[in-house]
A and B are shown apart, each in its own frame.
Chain A
Amino acid sequence: MVPLSWYIILGVVLFVIGAAGVLVRRNILVVLMSLELLLNSVNINFIAFGRYYGDFRGQIFAIFVIAITAAEVAVALGILVALVRNKSTLKVDEVTMMKG
């Protein structure tokens, strides 16, 4: 049988890779994809804990995370399309409209 810690370590590795994508990459599309990676590593942790402690609620919260992720992606891509139409840039550093 696979120990629980292996799943947690897989979640840690995917989380760090996703956070690296969010913090280091300058392309907005890749930043959004790395955000998906972060949420998926959290889902792995939820389901692994739910399985090893005999509780359904891990899976239920994973379902909620997936639903909220779908909403987030729809809104983020809408904002992205509007941004590209107005400023025609995809770099994070050049989006400073809300900088005050």
Chain B
Amino acid sequence: MDPGFFLLFATVSVITALTVVLARNPVHSALALMACFLNISAIFVMLEAPLLAVIQIFVYVGAIMVLFLFVIMMIDVREAVLQRFLPGSNLPAMGLLILLGIEMLVLVLWSDRFSITEPAAIGGGDQIRQLSTTLFADYLLPFEAASVILLAALVGAIVLARKE
């Protein structure tokens, strides 16, 4: 609600995201990414999506980042650590990215449809109950498809990482 809180969380998440890209050591990148995800979940709480904030912490910080850290520990990163990051090494890509960022910012700031400050009231009552009712009634088929995709990814990861 408070713009001060938003500015705090947004600033910290942007700084940690920059650390992810600029850090030399992949372990530092993973830890900065974890801090970034925690700040993004705080922003989800500000957007009144507490269920998404909890899912963000459980799935990203709890599962995906642990997976990343395990893989970093499993493989030898010393050779990769020696790779220094040079911002000027890929000039066309950097120019393209700056162009993309300026274009998106201009489009967002130009339009007046994004300047609304008062969020629309969601029909009263228990929000998480309504959310889950919508998820399991109207979006049951995509939900089942997502579960099948997760099962396929599980089996695929086991097969890929198995020793011959």
Contact = CB atoms under 8 A, between A and B. Distances in A.
Interface of A: 1-10, 12-21, 23-27, 29-30, 32-34, 36-37, 40, 43-44, 47-48, 50-54, 56-57, 59-60, 62-64, 66-75, 77-82, 84-85, 88, 90-91
B131 A52 contact: no
Contact of A82 (B37, B131, B152, B160): B160
B118 to A, nearest CB: 6
Nearest to B128: A59
Contacts of B134: 56-57, 60
B33 A78 contact: no
How many B residues are at the interface, by size bracket?
35 or more
A73 B154 CA distance: 10
A18 B17 contact: yes
Contacts of B59: 66, 69-70
A81 B159 CA distance: 11
B20 A72 contact: no
Contacts of B6: 2, 6
Contact of B49 (A5, A16, A47, A70): A47
Chain B facing A: main interface SS: helix
Interface in B1-32: 1-3, 6, 10, 13-14, 17-18, 20-21, 23, 26, 29-30
B21 A67 contact: no
Contacts of B159: 78
Given A7-B47, A24-B87, A59-B131, A70 B101 contact: no
A24 to B, nearest CB: 5
Interface string B137-164: 0010010001001101110111111010
A2 B3 contact: yes
A51 to B, nearest CB: 5
A44 B43 contact: yes
B35 interface: no
Nearest to B114: A5
Contacts of B55: 63, 66
B4 to A, nearest CB: 10
B152 A71 contact: yes
B153 A33 contact: no
Contact of A23 (B14, B47, B71, B97): B97
Nearest to B122: A54
